Amino acid sequence: MQADQAWDWEPGARTVLEDATACAAPHEWTEEPEASPDGERLAAVANLGDGRFTVCVNAEPWETDFEKAWYLRFSPDGRLTAVTMEDGMWTVSVDGESWEESFDFAWGTTFSADGGVIAACIQSEGTYGMIVDGTPWETLHENANNFRLAADGLHTAAAVQVKSLGQADIATFQQGIFSVAVDGEPWDAIFVNCFDPAIEQKTGRAAATIRRSLYDYSVAVDGKAWDAAYDCAWGPVFHPGNGQVLAPVRKKGLWGMAGDAGFVWNPAFIQCHHPQFSADGATLAAIVAPSFGKFTVAVNAAPWSATFPVVTDLRVSPDGRTVAAQASNDNAAFRVLVNGSVWPGVYDMAYGPVICPATGQVAVRVEKDGRQAFVLGGKAHPETFDRAFNPIFSPDGAKVLLRGISGKAYKRIVAPVSAFTG
Amino acid sequence: MTTTIADRRIEDAGLEAGIARLTPEKIQKTIQAVLAGEGGARLKTYVETCVRCGMCAQACHYYMSHKDPSYAPVAKVRQTMWEILKHKGLVSPEFIHQCAQIAYTECNLCRRCMHYCPLGIDTAYIMSFVRRICHKLGVTPQYIQDTAHSHSATMNQMWVKDDEWIDTLKWQEDEARDEMPSLRIPLEVEGADFMYSVIAPEPKFRTQLIYQAAFIFNQAGVNWTMPATPGWDNSNMAMFTGDMEIMGRIEMAHFATAQRLRVKRIVMGECGHAFRAIYDVANRWLGWGMHPVPVVHSIEFFWELLNSGKIQMAKKYPGPVTIHDPCNVIRGRGLMDKLREVVHAICDGVVEMTPNREHNYCCCAGGGVINCGPPFKNVRIVGNSIKAEQLKATGVKTCIAPCHNCHGGLDDIIHKYGLGMELKFLGDIIYECMEKKGAS
């Protein structure tokens, strides 16, 4: 989430809404609230009774109500979206205005990194694709999944079924019925499976993990498959500088990282997934298991020394100088890991580290004994909440926007970095 | 009477097409690669320590039903893995057909025999290894292979498309609101106490189970959610075909979904094999020592709800009833006591079947056997006449089985042998007999 300088960054706490469940319209209940990125609005779906729903923003209902409304999400630029249904047809509503076209089903709203582009998945008369800012793909497919919107919002992609399949027709399936569609148009190449497409910003090149047979995993870029075959593979990533595609792959029981010319990280890990580049491509990090049951993060193939039963939520700063993740044991005893060091705090839950793009500082929303709080650099802010939202750094990194609900009140707090002392 | 697998050969499109592509040389090359890469100390230990005592025979429902020694667990190993090892993998395509027929359709991987083996040999592991070889050779029964394909393409076993899943949940929520107007099936709620996961047959044709679970959870006032993305299906037929790579991908999606939602744990519907995949097998293939998010079967969760007083029974289900112990959550997790405590709390008159608990006979559907489809239906029904005898001896007309596969297998047996019994999930009875304070 990129903060905006125009937001109110004056340090201090402000109650935005006295009652987070309030709705000015007569209603039966309100659902789980979402906070706007700038913290100024709290929104929730409200059941109006008689099977009607609307969305309340700071307790004020949208002018329109619907047969159904759900999946309330703020875009990074602050627009509020909901998936809505009227007369049995579904679409996306943005700030109360529904997209003109509606479909037999719509779901999975997603955003470009700056929020300027909004996309969703659609099904129309049994065919599948995506819709971008209200405009559906021209070509829909018998099935589609693994939907993606490029970070710059210029292109979309999905794994699509391009050949029909009869019931229990295992022969046709193994000949290949899947491809990857970019902006709706499928590659010429067809594979047994296509998984986890990735889209390169600006160019719209797409890469995906493929199965050429039940046993032969590889990666295809713009429909052209690598020669090499692997025993298994996870989703690929594009090098943001030179466009090279890399993916975690498995060979003879061990995982490494490969490109089209072979391994760039030797297959030395029991597991390797979720690779992520820094913006300049100089740093490549991934979650790895150097030995069975022991997970950590590897940066440019070198694993950190501290290992844990589980590691998730890998983040890499744009300059690559900060790599963060979180660790847990049996989904408890959450720890925060930054550049190989382990913060002293142990939490009941952590919600993924947030790295300040300007300074590399790390903040995390955590939960302990039923209360949510914020920790920066290992030190906690004194305010705790029943429910909170992820922290957002100010553009210069000197302050952190904290948003949360305590009791009934929804609060917005601008906390200087120095306020994290616990 | 003693037969051989050759005497009972069954044609299956997947098996026939598979062996048609093979030569002994291709077979040997593949088998040697699998043995070298995956046949470690566990396989070697089991093969070398078996003393051929035959005590496992009476553990197997196929043997007990046919009284044919060729169905004994040790005989299944003798006819498959021992021959493979003896010939260093140089075997015929027809032999591979026989291996596949035994491993996929005459063994439920139920692990009952492990309890009867004086050395604790896990024959199910050896049969799973044979299945892995068959998968690598492309010799798998058609219908179960189709489910593995579905898993790979949709992350669920019944080709349920992304929108169909959400639409079904919305539909069941609407249906249930006729009975409880405030009811919700909360989707994608970050930080809920648990993610409820089910197997694909529930949205496909057992939607009442989703309705019932939602009703029970709403009545209990618990903080729960369901995902609106792939990763919702906890079943894993790829584990049973031997496609470990797809097995791992399914479970990665399942756990990643729970982790994304930041739930405290996963509560599973009444399914046994899914528990095995998540709790024991696929998590370890992915490199985790245990599951990364705690996994709770419905038996345990209902036990918690009843013991905490979050749900209360308005009446007890009129018995007598009997209890079928599903293999994967009883032998695999030890839930036999909690299952009984739940059943006694919700039913009058519990009649134990004999044998029971960890010694109960398998339903003969699990381990992927029922998923092998119509060609093998009769095999699993005739091969479990002992189960029919066991059920009949209880003298009761209601059998509680907290497992989907068990329902499928037992239903066929009840019809074939004219037992006149009805099958119930725990959720069926709790929903029917609980106090419904929020209902209209």
Distance from CA of A252 to the nearest CA of B (A): 7
pLDDT in tens, B48-63: 999 999 999 999 999 9
Q: What is the DSSP letter of B123?
A: H
Cα atoms in the Cβ-side hemisphere of radius 13 Å centred on A15: 9
Tell me whether B154 touches chain A (CB under 8 Å). Answer: yes
- In this prediction, residue A261 carries a pLDDT of 96
- Of all residues in chain B, the one with the smallest CA distance to A332 is B264
pLDDT in tens, B164-197: 999 999 999 999 999 999 999 999 999 999 999 9
pLDDT in tens, B121-180: 999 999 999 999 999 999 999 999 999 999 999 999 999 999 999 999 999 999 999 999
Q: How many residues does chain B have?
A: 440
The CATH fold assigned to B5-140 is Fumarate Reductase Iron-sulfur Protein; Chain B, domain 2 (1.10.1060)
Residue A38: name the closest of A71, A75, A72, A12 by CA.
Answer: A75
Chain B residues lying within 8 Å of A107, measured CB to CB:
162-163, 166, 228
CB A207 within 8 A of CB A245: yes
8 Å CB contact of A293 and B289: yes
Among A70, A211, A270, beta carbon nearest to B287? A270
Which DSSP string corresponds to B21-80?
T--HHHHHHHHHHHHHHH--HHHHHHHHH-----TTGGG-HHHHHH--GGGSHHHHHIII
Chain A residues lying within 8 Å of B182, measured CB to CB:
28-29
pLDDT in tens, B256-313: 999 999 999 999 999 988 889 988 899 999 999 999 999 999 999 999 999 999 999 9
Instruction: Measure the CA–CA gap between A391 and A209, rounded to whole angstroms.
Output: 33
Q: Above 0.85 for ipTM, yes or no?
A: yes
- In this prediction, residue A264 carries a pLDDT of 98
Tell me whether B286 touches chain A (CB under 8 Å). Answer: yes
Is the model's pLDDT at B371 over the cut of 90?
Answer: yes
Tell me whether B182 touches chain A (CB under 8 Å). Answer: yes
8 Å CB contact of A231 and B245: yes
- Best residue of A84, A148, A331 to probe chain B, by most B CBs closer than 10 Å: A331
Every domain range in chain B assigned CATH 1.10.1060 = 5-140
8 Å CB contact of B187 and A28: no
Is the model's pLDDT at B440 over the cut of 80?
Answer: no
Using the Cα atoms of residue B432, residue B434, residue B438 and residue B440 in order, give the sign of their dihedral: positive
Distance from CA of B164 to the nearest CA of A (A): 9
- In this prediction, residue B298 carries a pLDDT of 97
Q: Which residues of chain A have pLDDT under 70?
A: none
Chain A residues lying within 8 Å of B134, measured CB to CB:
none
Tell me whether B55 touches chain A (CB under 8 Å). Answer: no
pLDDT in tens, B10-52: 999 999 999 999 999 999 999 999 999 999 899 999 999 999 9
Q: Which two tokens stand for residue A347?
A: 């939490």
Tell me whether B178 touches chain A (CB under 8 Å). Answer: no
To 10 degrees, what angle do helices B244-261 and B142-154 make? 40
Tell me whether B138 touches chain A (CB under 8 Å). Answer: yes
Tell me whether B264 touches chain A (CB under 8 Å). Answer: yes
CB B127 within 8 A of CB B76: yes
Tell me whether B145 touches chain A (CB under 8 Å). Answer: yes
Chain A residues lying within 8 Å of B187, measured CB to CB:
70-71
Chain B residues lying within 8 Å of A217, measured CB to CB:
245
Beta strand A332-338 pairing with A341-342: antiparallel
pLDDT in tens, B231-252: 999 999 999 999 999 999 999 9
- Of all residues in chain B, the one with the smallest CA distance to A124 is B163
- Of all residues in chain B, the one with the smallest CA distance to A167 is B146
Cis link prior to B24 (omega < 30° from 0)?
no
Beta strand B265-268 pairing with B194-197: parallel
Q: Between A and B, how many CB-CB pairs are < 8 A? A: 115
Beta strand A193-199 pairing with A310-316: unpaired
Residue A272: name the closest of A314, A243, A241, A317 by CA.
Answer: A314
CB B407 within 8 A of CB B326: no
Among B143, B265, B286, beta carbon nearest to A271? B286
Q: Which two tokens stand for residue B360?
A: 């109960």
Is the model's pLDDT at B438 over the cut of 80?
Answer: no
- In this prediction, residue A119 carries a pLDDT of 98
8 Å CB contact of A123 and B288: no
Chain B residues lying within 8 Å of A161, measured CB to CB:
153
Chain B residues lying within 8 Å of A192, measured CB to CB:
152
Tell me whether B262 touches chain A (CB under 8 Å). Answer: yes
Chain B residues lying within 8 Å of A168, measured CB to CB:
142-143, 146, 373
8 Å CB contact of B138 and A214: yes
CB A37 within 8 A of CB A79: no
Instruction: Measure the CA–CA gap between A389 and A365, rounded to whole angstroms.
Output: 7
- Of all residues in chain B, the one with the smallest CA distance to A179 is B153
CB B290 within 8 A of CB B266: no
The A409-416 sheet, strands edge to edge: A12-17, A409-416, A399-406, A387-393
- In this prediction, residue A47 carries a pLDDT of 98
pLDDT in tens, B62-117: 999 999 999 999 999 999 999 999 999 999 999 999 999 999 999 999 999 999 99
Q: Give the pLDDT mean for B369-388.
A: 96
Residues 357-396 (B) with a CB less than 8 A from some CB of A:
373
Helix (H/G/I), strand (E/B), else coil: A245: strand
